[in-house]
A = this chain, B = another copy of it.
Amino acid sequence: MNSIEALREALLRFRDERDWQQFHSLRNLIVSLNLEAGELLELLQWKSDAEIAALPADAAGREALADECADVFLYLLLIADTAGIDLLDAAAAKLAKNGEKYPVEKAFGSRAKYDRL
């Protein structure tokens, strides 16, 4: 897959071949994205920091991470499609906003929230 646009087209084709758009209300998609985010979180459950850091080096751990990241991404693309949002533009715009909230000279090396910088 070599572009987000090609992925988006493959995804919408997948959805439409199955006649699933009828289930893809914004509510259902956002709930589903949260459930997939939870499955990503579940990969960490009961694990120490060292065990988590070692996950990507293990074939099964890495595939599980990749699959759950993929599920979140696919729902994100469906939400964006349903809401008429261009995901790349939205992310670039948000990054610019974040740059104003976290100017380099204040935020350097700090994990404080912007209202505490």
Q: A26 contacts which chain B residues (CB < 8 A)?
A: 44, 52-53, 55-56, 65
Q: Smallest CB–CB gap between A60 and chain B, Å?
A: 13
Inter-chain contact A32/B45, CB cutoff 8 Å: yes
Is residue A91 within 8 Å, beta carbon to beta carbon, of the partner chain?
yes
Residues of chain B with a CB closer than 8 A to A107's CB: 18, 20
Mark A22-52 against chain B: 1 for CB-CB distance below 8 A, else 0. 1101111011111101101111111001001
Query: Are the CB atoms of A90 and B109 closer together than 8 Å?
Result: no
Are the C-beta atoms of B46 and A49 separated by less than 8 Å? no
Q: Distance in Å from the Cβ of A89 to the closest Cβ of chain B?
A: 6
Q: Determine whether the beta carbon of B32 is less than 8 Å from that of A35.
A: no
Q: Is A109 a contact partner of B52 (Cβ separation < 8 A)?
A: no
How far is it, in angstroms, between the C-alpha of A83 and the C-alpha of B68 when the chains are bound? 12
Taking a contact as CB atoms under 8 Å apart, the answer to whether A1 and B53 are in contact is: no
**10 closest Cβ contacts across the A-B interface?**
A70-B94, A38-B38, A1-B92, A37-B37, A66-B90, A56-B83, A1-B88, A70-B90, A46-B111, A70-B91
